[in-house]
Amino acid sequence: MIERDPFGYIMVIFAMTVAVYLTRAGGYWLMGRVTIGPRVRRVFDALPGAIIAATVAPLLLRGGVSALCAVVAAGLAMIFVRRDFAAVIVGVAVAAAVRAAGL
Amino acid sequence: MSKSFSPHWTFGAFREGVIATLPLMPGLFAFGIAFGTVAARKGFSLFEAEVMSAFVFAGVAQLIVVDAWPQELTAATIFAAATVTFVICSRFLLIGASMRPLLVSLPAVQVYPFMHFVIEPPWLLALRYQRNGGNDPGFIFGSAATCWVVWVVSIAPGFWLGATADPHRFGLDMVMPAFFTAMMVSLWPGPRRAIGWIVAGGAAILSDQLFGGFWYVVIGALAGSLVGGLTDD
């Protein structure tokens, strides 16, 4: 159980809110202070895909067979059906099925 | 967010953003239920869990901080909570930077309050929206507002349930990876620039293995975007 300390709780929420807001607004703010050349522009164009790849790759390695099957199935579903929701449902269902099969 | 005083964004695009976000509601809802459950188990009140969700609005950071809540709160532990949050959410620095082109036409008084609502799904949906020729920031406003409402509402059922279905057994931990994969299909830049993705994934795995923690997203993303951006010539 937690020490009932409303002031401490409020301070933690405040500190977390400030920290997360700094990350959310900080990158945007910084981009307004820096002039962007075509080379930097291209690096930023490549950024979104790189963030996604960097997020998913270690999850795949950690998640093992079921995660790999889920992600491949989700990718295939997206290629053929072109619906995010279908891809998510297929990915989740495949993960559950593979785990139910004991892999 | 201010209403329709600005000519720079429209409610038509806002609605489009809301609709584009609806397919993601089940996943977000499941995540919110998970957080509500953890908060209930750790002895928080529903009000406390809701306040944190509304203000912090970062599921992974919330889960980790609540799960590791210290016995005694000191200035040092409060600073540690802020540091953990900053590190986990450091990917938002990159996401915010990449949103500059979409939002730069708006006055700062609209943009900076909005930045509080930035999370991955609206950002990803807005990227695709821009790729398809859209340039109305109302789209991402609508998408982010939807996510925030769903997130805050979803805490309550999780809290009341106290315990949910095992997320691993039902594959619920695959919601975000599957969603990200679907987005990668949408964002496919062609085989040449996809080299950056491979570098990003490789660097992320390497730094995950070497350092642990949460830095892998930042390291992988920077390595991948540098390589992907500079091999484009």
Does some domain include residue B4?
no
Question: Are B26 and B131 found together in one domain?
Answer: yes
Q: Does a structural domain hold residue B204?
A: yes
Contact B170 A92 (CB under 8 A): yes
**Largest separation between any pair of C-alpha atoms in chain A:** 55
Nearest CA to CA, how far is A101 from chain B (Å)? 11
DSSP per-residue codes, chain B: ---TT-TTS-HHHHHHHHHHHGGGHHHHHHHHHHHHHHHHHTT--HHHHHHHHHHH--HHHHHHHHHT--SS--HHHHHHHHHHHHHHTTHHHHHHHHTHHHHTTS-HHHHHHHHTT--HHHHHHHHHHHHTT---THHHHHHHHHHHHHHHHHHHHHHHHSS---TTTTTGGGHHHHHHHHHHHHH---TTTTHHHHHHHHHHHHHHHHH-TTTHHHHHHHHHHHHHHHTT-
**Same structural domain, B70 and B178:** yes
Q: Is residue B2 a part of any domain in this protein?
A: no
Same-domain check for residues B217 and B147 = no
Question: Which whole number is the average pLDDT over B142-162?
Answer: 91
B168 and B223 both lie in a single domain: no
**Are residue B132 and residue B208 in the same domain, yes or no?**
no
Residue A67's SS3 state is helix
How high is the ipTM of this complex?
A: 0.77
Type of residue numbered A79: I
Residues B118 and B165 in one domain: yes
SS3 A31: helix
pLDDT digits (tens, 9 = 90+) for B2-31: 444 445 889 999 999 999 999 888 878 877
Confidence class for position B233, pLDDT limits 50, 70, 90: low
- Tell me what pLDDT residue B180 has: 79
Which whole number is the average pLDDT over B161-184? 73
- pTM for the predicted model, two decimal places: 0.69
* Mean pLDDT on B164-185: 76
Q: Are residues B195 and B88 in the same domain?
A: no
N-to-C CA span, chain B: 40
Asked if B100 and A67 come within 8 Å (Cβ–Cβ), the reply is no
Residue B80 domain-assigned (yes or no): yes
Residues B31 and B104 in one domain: yes
Predicted pLDDT of residue B27: 76
In this prediction, residue B104 has a pLDDT band, given cuts at 50, 70 and 90, of confident
Higher-confidence residue of B120 and B216: namely: B120
User: Who among A48, A90, A99 is closest to B98 (CB)?
Assistant: A48
Q: Which domain holds residue B216?
A: 189-233
Same-domain status, B178 and B203: no
Instruction: Write out residues in chain A with pLDDT < 50, as ranges.
Output: 1-2
Same domain, B61 and B164: yes
pLDDT band at B232 (very low <50, low <70, confident <90, very high): low
Asked if the structure places residue B3 within a domain, the reply is no
CA distance A61 to chain B (A): 8
pLDDT beyond 50 at B188? yes
pLDDT greater than 60 at residue B164: no
* Domain limit, last residue, from B149, B171, B187: B187
Q: In the prediction, which pLDDT does B129 show?
A: 93
> Could you say which of A39, A55, A74 has the minimum Cβ distance to residue B182?
A74
Contact B89 A13 (CB under 8 A): no
Judgement on whether residues B92 and B35 belong to the same structural domain of the protein: yes
Nearest CA in chain B to A40: B229
- List the Cα angle B182/B188/B194 in 5-degree steps: 120
Count of domains observed in chain B: 2
Question: pLDDT at position B171, please?
Answer: 74
Residue pair B117/B14 in contact (Cβ under 8 Å)? The answer is no
CB-CB neighbors (< 8 A) of A74 in chain B: 174, 177-179, 181-182
Query: Given phi > 0 = left and psi -120 to 50 = alpha, else beta, which region is A77?
Result: alpha
Percentage with pLDDT > 70 across chain B: 91
Same domain, B115 and B170: yes
Q: What is the reported pLDDT for B6?
A: 47
Residue type, position A18, single letter: V
pLDDT on residue B21: 94
pLDDT(B142) > 80: yes
Q: What value does the mean pLDDT of chain B take?
A: 84
Residue B6 lies in a domain: no
